Amino acid sequence: MNDLTVSALSRVSASEQNHQSQQLNVGYGASLSDIARFENSINTAIEKTTNVRRVDKPSDTERAVMKPLDFINDEASEIVDYAKTAVASGNELTPSEIVLLTARTHEFMFHCQLTSNIANRTSDGLQQLFRQQS
């Protein structure tokens, strides 16, 4: 660690001691807002140390965390659009269209479960890392 990081971390810990109501408990209950709040506290400490303002764009970490969720959201939108188009046509769905829609929804659910599993494994790994560090 360099001196800037140590200084930022010491400021964050001092800030956390002053604001005990805003403690960050990392565990199974950690959410994206907890991650964002932690990153904001680090950035605030760095800004106070270096007097540099953060640009209002997402960081690489935020983009990496959101990428799988964006993919799932896009996939869900595609399925909804397909179903709405089928209903708007006024015709009944053919058996092949029903099978296709069912297959796409199963694929969507698989991607949701896979993303959830990866998130849970990542959370478990981070918990273990924090336990080892302390």
pLDDT one-digit tens code per residue, 12-32: 555 555 544 455 555 666 677
Residues 19, 62, 59, CA angle at the centre, nearest 5°? 90
pLDDT band at 5 (very low <50, low <70, confident <90, very high): low
Q: What's the one-letter identity of residue 31?
A: S
pLDDT one-digit tens code per residue, 64-120: 888 988 999 999 999 999 888 888 888 888 888 889 999 999 999 999 999 999 989
pLDDT at residue number 30? 66
Residue 106 neighbours by CB distance under 10 Å: 10
Residue 42 has pLDDT above 90, yes or no: no
Contact 104, 79 (CB under 8 A): yes
Buried b (16+ CB within 10 A) or exposed e, 68-89: beeebeebeeeeeeeeeebeee
> What pTM does this model have?
0.52
CA distance 72 to 87: 23
